[in-house]
Structure 1
Amino acid sequence: MSDVLTPALTPALTMAGRSIRLSRRNIDALITSMMLPLMLMVVFIYFFGGAIDTGTTYVTYVVPGILVLCAAFGASTTAVNVSEDMKGGIIDRFRSLDIGGTSILAGHVAASTIRNLVSTAVVLAVAFLIGFRPSASPAAWLAAGAILIIFLVAISWLSAAVGLLARTPEAAGGFTFFMSFLPYPSSAFVRIDTMPSWLHGFSEHQPVTPLIESLRGLLLGQPVGSAPWTALAWCGGILAVAVALSGALFKVRTA
C-alpha cells in the first residue's frame, strides 16, 4: 500500500513545502491574515460589545465567529497564490517534471491549511488574553478542531478552483472579500433573530452558520444538536464540488 501511495504523495508534499516557503517570504500576507481577525475582534468586543445583547458576555459569544472569519479569510488567499502560479508560467515547468495538477493544487491546499491553523491559534491565544473562557472537554476541543480543519480544507480547495477560474491575481483577490463578508449575515456577531426577517432564511441556511454554532456549542459546553452534522455536510459538498471543478479547470487552463 505504501508503495502505491508514495508516488502520489511525494509531489504533493513537495509542492506543500514550496508553498510554505513562499508564505514565509510573503510576510505582508501572513501579517494581514492574522491582524484583520484580531482587529475585528477588538473592534466588536470593545467598541460594539456593550451595545449588543447576546445573553452572555460578548467575548464568549463572538470568538467562535472570529475563528471562522480568520479561517475563511486565510483559506481564501489560496486563490491568489494559485492564480499567480498560473500567470507566472511555473506550471509548465512543473508539468515538464511530471508533476500533475492534483499534486500542485493539493500542495497549495496543504500549505493553506497549515498557515491558517497557525493564524487561528494566534487569534485564539489573544482571545484568551482578553477574557474568552471556554469550558470544553478534551473531546469537545478535538471535535471543534476537526470541524475547523475540514472547513479549512474545503474552502482552500474551493479557493484553488477560483484561482484557476480567475485570469489575474487581482481578480482572484475578490474571493477573499466574499469569504470575509460571508460570516456577517450569520450568527457570528449577533443573534439571527435580531436581523431583519427577510434575512433570516439566508442567515440560518448558509454554510458558516452551522459551523459557528458547532464551534460555539462545543467550546462552551452547550448542546449542539444537528449543527455539526449540517456543517460537515456543507463542507463535504463544497469539497467534492471544488476538487472536481479544480481538476476540470486545471485541464482547461493547461491544455
Structure 2
Amino acid sequence: MTDFLPITKIPRTGLPAHALVVGDPDRASAVAELLDGAALIGQNREYRTFAGTWRGVPVVVSSHGVGGAGAVCQFAELAEAGVHTFVRFGTAGALRADIADGDLVVAEAAVRDDGVTQQLIHPEFPAYATPEAVLALAGAAAAHGLRAHRGVVWTRAAFSPMVLRLPVADYVAARVIAIEMELSTLLVFAALRGLRAGGVLVIDGNAAVDNDNPTGYNPHRQVVTDAVAAGSRAALDALVELT
C-alpha cells in the first residue's frame, strides 16, 4: 500500500469534504489560484488536484478530463479520501436559442447518455442533483450578477456524430437545455454513494444542431473566458454553502 491513491495520486485520507471538479487541468490550476493557501496534492494523467480554502472553508479543486469513464475514477478516489460534496464546474453547448454564450446553466438533473453509468445501475435510475446544490448554485449566480438558467442537461459520451446520427432534435423537443459530457456520471455516482452533488456549466456555443465538423468548435473566446472566471467564484461560493 502506498500513501496515495492509484489513479489520481491524491492522498488516501484527510481531504476536505468539499470538492469543485472540472474537466481541464489548466482550469483546475486557474481556480486554485483563487484559493487561500492552495497546494498541489496530486497529479497523474488528466487528474490535477489542489487543496486550499475558500472563505475560510477547506476545499479541493480537481480535474477529471473528458468523458464519464475517466471522471468516475476521480470521483471514487476523492470520495475515498474524504470528499462528500461535489460541484462540477464545466462548459456546455446550449440547446435553446435564448441561452447565450457566457450564460450559466444550473443542472437540476441529467440525461444518462454518458456511456458508463449504464454499467453501474439500471438505466431507469435517475441522475438528479442534490436540491440544496441547485438552490445554492442558482443563488450564487444571482449574487454575482450572472445570467443563469435551470433545467435538465444531456450528458453524452460521443462528442459528434459519425455513421449514427445522435438524437439532438428529440432532446431539444423534450426541453433539455444544454449538452455536456460528465455530469450525469457524477450525479449517479453521488446518489449511489449517499453523497451530495450538483453542477453549473458555462455555455460556450449552441449545439442544437449536431456538428459534423467538431474542429470548427471554438470555446476559446473572450465571452467564454470571462464567464468561466466569474463562474468559478460563484461555483466556489455555492460549494462552501453546502456545509
User: Which of the pair has more CA radius of gyration?
Assistant: 1
Report which of the two has the higher share of helix: 1
Structures share fold, TM-score greater than 0.5:
no
Normalized against structure 2, the TM-score is what? 0.26
